[in-house]
Amino acid sequence: MSKLSKKRRVIKRLIKLFFIYYLTLTIYLCYETVFPQILNAYQPQQQIISQAPQETEAEELYKQADRLYKDGQYQEALEKYQQALQIYQLIYRVSENGNQSLSLKIGKTLHSIGAVYNQLANYPQALEYYQQAVKLRRQINDKKGVGSSLNSIGAVYFRQGNYNQALDYLQQALKIRQELGDLVRVARTQNNIAAIYLNKAKYSQALEYYQQALQTFKELGNLQGEAAVINNIGLIYQQLGQYEKSLEWYQQALAIHQQTKNQKGEGDTLNNIGLTYKLLKKYDQALTYYQQALTVRKEIDDKPGIANSLNNIGLVYDQKSEYQTALEYLEQALTIFQQIGNKTEIGRTLDSLGTVYKSIQEYTQAEDYYRQALTIKRNIGDRASERITLSNIGDLLVTKKQPELAIIFYKSSVNVTEAIRQDIQALSLVQKQSYAQKIADTYRSLADLLLQQNRVIEAQKVLDLLKVQELDNYLKNVEGNEQTALGIELLPQEKELLDNYNAIQNQAVQVNEELTKLENILPVNRSVTQQQQITKLEAQKQQIQAKFKNFISNEEIVKILQQLQEKTGGESLDITNLSRLQNILKIKQNAVLLYPLILEDRIELVLVKSNGLPIHRSVPISKIELKNAIFDFRAALTYPRRRISDLAARETGKLLYEWLIKPWEIELLSARTKTIIYAPDGLLRYIPLGALYDGEKWLIEKFNINNITAASLTNFNSKPLDKLRVLAAAFSEGNYQFMVGSREFELSGLQFAGEEIEILAKIIPNTMKLFNQAFSWDEIISRVDKYNILHFATHADFVNGQPEDSFILFGDGSRLTLREITNLSLPNINLAVLSACRTGMGSILQDGSEILGLGYQMQRAGVKASVATLWQVDDRGTQLLMINFYRALKKGNITKAKALREAQLGLITGNVQAEKEANNFKHPYYWAPFILIGDGL
């Protein structure tokens, strides 16, 4: 080929390449300039076309989530809601300006996710999503949605026990719903507010809101709402122990549910009726209603309800000691709860199974179920149930004769309880019914076991916390303080033992989880490897059970136990709390602290002196014997026929002296004791310690007596009164009739009350007198800051059942309940005197909680010490004792306890103002009922 031809081909190729380059450049420039205009015109339509299927997918996911939520499958529901939320948010982000419809859907989905977390008891997450929903709904002015989310936030705070915050949010929701005229939701929120007051034991406020909601539902003809509220009113009466009345309300609710064919409501109300009969210990009737509830719940496939009914039926059979039947029902309940993933109820049902197996002495099974329950409860933060399971493990270890380990679990249970007191969670009604008794039992079991091991310092702390817990059970408002929050010290060796035990437990949980997953695979579908793994895990399970069985005999554990015994045997513990107490006793000069603990077969007595370690004595007297002796003693002190002679009072008082005081005679003498600070237990709160008799003298003739609620709750920092300024009030004329709970009262003015106040005013010149109609709440509150002594001569009645049923009657006919005392602010009041009838107890002897309650409520209001009476006192005798009491106080530089003792000695010796009447008031009926509670030193 010629050179020319070659050149021509190269030139042609270059021209071709140039043309391709030019064409490419042109296309690129068109893409950058012309195409965007076309694309911009086309894109909105394309976006709408692509968005529609996605939004439809999100809506379908939301509907699926709703169905799962209603079936109680919360984890699965959560996943669907979150998927829907992601799609909605993605579509919203690619929208140029967003749109209102999508915002509404996002807000709704956020709210629903919050609802799932609420059901899963993950309250922080629930609050986070509800708050996001509120924020978004406010931005788009979705008032209805805002009200809904605020209502739900209130419900979460309610479940956490943060009642004040709950009320705040619910009141906001109520205001919005009232503005919208959304009466149905107004009534629902009123119903929720009522539930908070119900849990705060403010029954009158709860009833008021329930009645408002009920009235609204009736006016709207909303029968389902009406039935729901009627059911809740039944709960109030059930809480009050008025079971017959609660049954009346439940039956009304049931009739409406059946009329409207609301099977969900019907099942719930039948369940409540069953619970009421269970509380009445009418187990056959309870079973009938529980079975009816089960039938209804099965018809609508209410899986959570079905499991709940099966669980309740199992618990009734447990009460009837039909353990095999109980196990069958509980295992069915467990299976369903596991299927729907309700971990809270899984944990509680596992605990119930453990208790039944313990009853039939299958301890390995019982321990296995307890361990599983404990793990779940800890993981989900169900502390109220966790402390019960810890206590149950303690009970089991006592049965297995492993006291050192039992003490560790009891301590852990008590410490969880004390932590709960700082942040109380709301419990369901059925939990509350069993919770209070179980709590007290745990404290007593721990104190008993510690005393058996001669660990007295620790036992003393437990006894003090027991008093606090009993107060909380009665009043429901005892939050504790820095001392109670510390709970009971877990010693280093105990912590090491617990860590070892937990390590084995964690291993057991892991093996069980792996084994359960593999066993859920049908045998025909299992691979050879999976079957081999099951065999291996079964072998590991047996090894773990052997470790638990031989835990106490393990060489390493034996060594730790020996170290623990060496430490506790010498009581070489952290005695910060003891030192605090002993410093108080030194300051108060020759005082000792006496704690009795009533157990089934004995009384344990603990004495704390101003120096040395606490000591204890055990008196082998059964609880029944003690109860009979207390009843005989009270009868000798109070029955009219017994007042002719004090012989019966001396005889019965001597028996109790032998049990409570004689074991300490040498110690009291060597410590030169002048004052006994007394923290009585149970029925002992109904008898005056000063009226015990040593064969020659009443105890009050030898010592000052100062009752306390609990050392940790008593501030021993008051000083003797200097200048006395008394606000004195009396109900001396008139007559009032009224009902309190189920009790009817007809109370007339006290004959000598007016004269008592007049004489008091002569003794103490700075006395403000209020009589009858002038003796009112408003008058007291408007004047009280100017005085340091409050003296009421009026009727009062304090009963064990409910703080709302205990009251002080004012002269104008109004009443101050024991619950309402806590609303007072009385920081200047050094002494409150209730010189009336039954100001310390009701007519039925139970556990003396009302006496503790009176002292604590006064103390919480700011009062340093209170004087109250243990039975219906004599007007004239009271007048004479009070004259002596205030004359002693007027001397100055005298403690309240010593002044009261001098006044009581005045009646015993006949050294009273009215010489002609001197011999009429020597019987302890006249002087013994007056007790000093709080810091009287």
Condensed to tens digits (0 to 9), the pLDDT of residues 8-62 reads: 665 666 555 555 554 454 444 444 444 344 334 334 444 443 455 678 888 888 9
Tell me the whole-structure pTM to 2 decimals: 0.68
Which among 847, 850, 870, 886 has a CA at the least distance from the CA of 927? 870
Amino acid 27: pLDDT: 43
Q: Among 817-826, 835-844, 863-872, where is mean pLDDT lowest?
A: 835-844
Cα separation of 371 and 173, whole Å? 42
Average pLDDT over residues 486-507: 81
pLDDT at 711 over 70: no
35-39, 73-77, 339-343, 400-404: least confidently modelled range: 35-39
User: d(Cα 251, Cα 227) in Å, to the nearest integer?
Assistant: 10
Query: Which residue has better confidence, 562 or 527?
Result: 527
For range 621-650, the mean pLDDT: 87
pLDDT, one tens digit per residue, over 617-632 is 999 999 899 999 999 9
Higher-scoring residue by pLDDT: 26, 825: 825
Task: Tell me the residue type at 227.
Answer: A
Residue 610 has pLDDT above 70, yes or no: yes
What's the CA gap between 920 and 874, in Å, rounded?
11
As a whole number, the mean pLDDT across the chain is 81
Q: Which of 307-321, 493-507, 553-567, 895-909 has the lowest mean pLDDT?
A: 553-567
Q: How far is CA 181 from CA 144, 148, 731, in A?
A: 10, 14, 48
Tell me the average pLDDT across 682-695.
91
pLDDT score, position 9: 64
Length of the chain: 937
Q: How confident is the model at residue 846 (pLDDT cuts 50, 70, 90)?
A: low
pLDDT of residue 195: 84
Average pLDDT over residues 414-421: 75
- The yes-or-no verdict on residue 566 having pLDDT over 70 is no
User: Residue 438's pLDDT band (boundaries 50, 70, 90)?
Assistant: low
What pLDDT was estimated at residue 65? 87
Task: Output the pLDDT for position 472.
Answer: 60
pLDDT band at 572; cut points 50, 70, 90 = very low
Instruction: Name the band, by pLDDT with cuts 50, 70 and 90, for residue 463.
Output: confident
Cα 657 to Cα 540, 674, 723, 907: the distances in Å are 59, 17, 38, 21
Check: CB of residue 209 under 8 Å from CB of residue 197.
Answer: yes
Give the whole-angstrom CA distance, residue 932 versus residue 832: 10
CB proximity list for 779: less than 8 A, separation 6 or greater: 729, 770
| Whether pLDDT at 334 is above 90 | yes
Residues paired with residue 194 on neighbouring β-strands, in sequence order: none
Q: Of 21 and 807, which is predicted with more confidence?
A: 807
- Judge whether residue 586 has pLDDT over 80: no
List alpha helices for 320-402, DSSP H: 323-340, 343-359, 363-380, 383-399
* Whole-angstrom distance, CA of residue 436 vs CA of residue 473: 6
Tell me what the mean pLDDT of segment 467-476 comes to.
63
**Do 707 and 933 touch, CB atoms closer than 8 A?**
yes
Is 190's pLDDT higher than 60?
Answer: yes
User: What residue has token string 């993605």?
Assistant: 90
Amino acid in position 746: E
Grade residue 700 by pLDDT with cuts at 50, 70 and 90. very high
Alpha-carbon distance 503 to 492, whole Å? 16
Mean predicted confidence (pLDDT) in 738-757 = 82
Q: What percent of the chain has pLDDT over 70?
A: 81
Q: How far apart are CA 764 and CA 787, in angstroms?
A: 12
The pLDDT value recorded for residue 664 is 92
pLDDT band at 259 (very low <50, low <70, confident <90, very high): very high
Burial of 28 (0-12, 13-18, 19+ CB in 10 A): exposed
SS3 746: strand
Confidence of residue 847 (pLDDT cuts 50, 70, 90): low
Q: What is the average per-residue pLDDT within 298-311?
A: 89
Mean pLDDT of 89-110: 81
Mean pLDDT within 730-740: 87
Query: Is beta strand 831-834 parallel, antiparallel or unpaired with respect to 789-793?
Result: parallel
> What is the band of 904 on the pLDDT scale with cuts at 50, 70, 90?
very high
498 vs 323, more confident: 323
Beta bridge partner(s), residue 421: none
